[in-house]
Structure 1
Amino acid sequence: MDTPGNPPRITWHTTESPAGASYFTSIAAYLIRVGAEPQVIYDPVSDKLGQFGPLTQSGRALRNDGSRRTNREGKVNIQVEVLGRAMTPWTKGFDPAEKPNFRRLIAAGRAHGVPDAWPAGKPAATAAAASNRNRTTWQSKGGHYGHCHVPANDHWDPGAIDISIVPGKPAGSSTPPSTGGSSGTYTVKKGDTLSSIAAAHHTTVAVLVKLNSLKDPNKLSVGQKLKLPGSIAAQPLEPFPGASFFHTGRHSQIVTAMGRRLVAEGCGRYSSGPGPNWTNADRTSYAAWQRKLGYSGTAADGIPGKASWDRLKVPKSL
């Protein structure tokens, strides 16, 4: 990326083609053939998801803005080509609760620090309305953009998609779009794992196993009802283990639980994971959390301190 110090973003496109699994491979091949690959291609009908390259490297789906390479703007610029047409927004009738790959895509953006915001406003509903291509906004603010918002580009996709769905609200917020349950329960969807459910609801696999008396946490059934902990405040929290706990070579589920909370707070800077090994990605993510709390300079060094740890509310690893 040319400007890795600038905020991260996701840019949404539509392929201007029919949607459906039968078109997925041919459209992907076409994008490769013409040298216009994004990082990701997604079919909202079948929930098929494909990746052309690392999310941290440039895609090729945008025109340059003079000498400014818009594909390489920001810490990440995750471009997503969605099978469909701008004139008929693909979010109509779309239920994220039934689309685990869509939820994974949104979670990946959040893990890279992409805010749940549309800095340039809602995507344009018509080609004539696609006039908000402000360079200052594009270069200085992270979040979600449409192709219609990018300076020096003339496409107006993805159309008037529903921004309550894209990106929606993080799981565990007051009105999550796709938790699949209510009143402290969750309905297992296709593609769910116990670890993904735990991460989405700010808890741990061990807590869910104990709460639901699960004999085998690796065996879940679609439609199965799982009890959820009532709230973070009601869960036992991990006490601060001390700054010396966090060093290269540390392997602990406490690190995993911490990383999941950082992702939930929009501070995750992981290309994979989080996992139990303390890594530079954990330190970078925790530094983002410290900055979110108002720390600056050497105070945002990525090493947990008691005050910031207590505010993160890491669920206890049982």
Structure 2
Amino acid sequence: MPNAWMPDATRVEDTSPQGMFLGGAPRVVWLTTETDPTLSSARNAAHQLTSRGHSSHLVWNPVTGEIVQPMPVTAAALGQLDTGAVDRATEGRVCVIIRVIGYATSPFTNQPLHGLGSILTWLDSWEVPRHWPTGSPSARPLPHRDPQAERLWARGGHFGHSQVPNARPSGPGAISTERLLNWLAPRPREGKRPSPDPVEATDADPGTKAEHELAGP
């Protein structure tokens, strides 16, 4: 049984409404807080967000690697993906809401992604497919409704907030979905413990990807 609480995340209190999932393919939705990751800690951001009724499963500062978890992944973050007609946050076996400290106008994948490996490993345990059905989010999402959105949403996987069917927000911006999802856990060297940071897959050797520490783009 996967863990409802991410092992490497710090728990923080959240009194926001929580609901039940309706079933279906598991998915993750990535949002941005529209705050500076060099000035805001994940803990402070989580407290500010919950005080305004913006709940989430994870709040992540990719610059520092700090991750906090306000609510268990087994509970739906009610109202966070409300498109007017339906609350998308209740759809799926899980619908994980991840708020990344950063701006939609400055894609967070253009900077270090400390802690990403732990997040992906946890999402893998919940069988969230590592694919992005709708393709990379746009810097300026089109306001009209995509007729394919419902079909792609039903497949599960990873989505930007702007790609939720009938959603209007602009976040998370033009992030690199390839860089975000294409991280591998480093192989432990003999006699040494594995590094806590993930490594990015390279094209140099598809069979055994080169190991290196996380760094900025």
Task: Give the residue type in structure 2 aligned to 1:84.
Answer: G
Residue 185 of structure 1, CA deviation: 11
C-alpha separation in 2, matches of 1:129 and 1:181:
47
Letter in 1 for 2:81: L
Q: Which amino acid aligns with 2:43?
A: T
Does 2:88 match 1:73?
no
Secondary structure of 1:12's aligned partner: strand
Which position in structure 2 is the counterpart of 1:44?
Answer: 62
The equivalent position to 1:143 in structure 2, one of 136, 153, 157, is 157
What amino acid does structure 1 have at the position aligned with 2:151? T
> Would the alpha carbon gap of residues 131 and 180 (structure 1) be closer, same or farther in structure 2, given more than 3 Å must change?
farther
Q: CA deviation at 1:128?
A: 4.1
* Cα distance change, pair 129–65 in 1 and its aligned pair in 2 (3 A): closer
Structure 1 residue runs of 5 or longer lacking an equivalent are 172-178, 197-229, 232-318
* In 1, Cα distance between equivalents of 2:132 and 2:100: 18
2:3 aligns with: none
- What's the offset of the Cα at 1:93? 3.2
Correspondence for 1:26:
44
Q: Does 1:166 align with 2:166?
A: no
User: SS of 2:46's equivalent?
Assistant: helix
CA separation of 1:163 and 1:185: change in aligned 2, threshold 3 A: farther
CA distance in structure 2 between the aligned counterparts of 1:185 and 1:3, rounded to whole angstroms: 46
Pick 1 or 2: higher relative contact order, CA cutoff 8 A, min separation 6. Answer: 2
Give ranges in structure 2 of 5+ residues lacking alignment: 1-19, 199-206, 209-217
1:86 and 1:22, CA in 2 relative to 1: closer, same or farther beyond 3 A? closer
In structure 2, the partner of 1:86 is: 104
Q: Which has the higher helix share?
A: 1
**8 Å CA contact retained: 1:39, 1:55:** yes
> Larger strand proportion, structure 1 or 2?
2
CA deviation after TM superposition for structure 1 residue 146, in Å: 0.4
Q: Deviations over 1:70-102 (max 9, x none)?
A: 1111010011000000110011132x5xx2x32
Maintained 8 Å contact 2:21/2:75: no
Cα offsets for 1:167-210 (capped at 9, x unmatched):
21444xxxxxxx3899x998853x47xxx9xxxxxxxxxxxxxx
> What's the counterpart of residue 199 of structure 1?
none
| % identity of equivalent residues | 26
Q: Compute the TM-score of the two structures, normalised by the length of structure 2.
A: 0.72
Q: CA RMSD in A?
A: 3.1
Following superposition, the deviation at residue 117 of structure 1 comes to 0.4
Native 8 Å contact 2:77 2:89 kept in 1: yes
Letter paired with 1:113: E
| Conservation of the 8 A alpha-carbon contact between 1:2 and 1:69 | no
From the superposition, tell whether residues 27 and 130 of structure 1 become closer, same or farther in structure 2 (CA, over 3 Å).
farther
Residues of 1 paired with 2:44 and 2:65: CA distance?
16
CA separation of 1:25 and 1:170: change in aligned 2, threshold 3 A: closer
Q: Is the 8 A contact 2:49 2:55 kept in 1?
A: yes
SS at match of 1:165: helix
CA positional deviation for 1:45: 0.9
Shift in CA distance, 21/3, structure 1 to aligned 2, threshold 3 Å: same
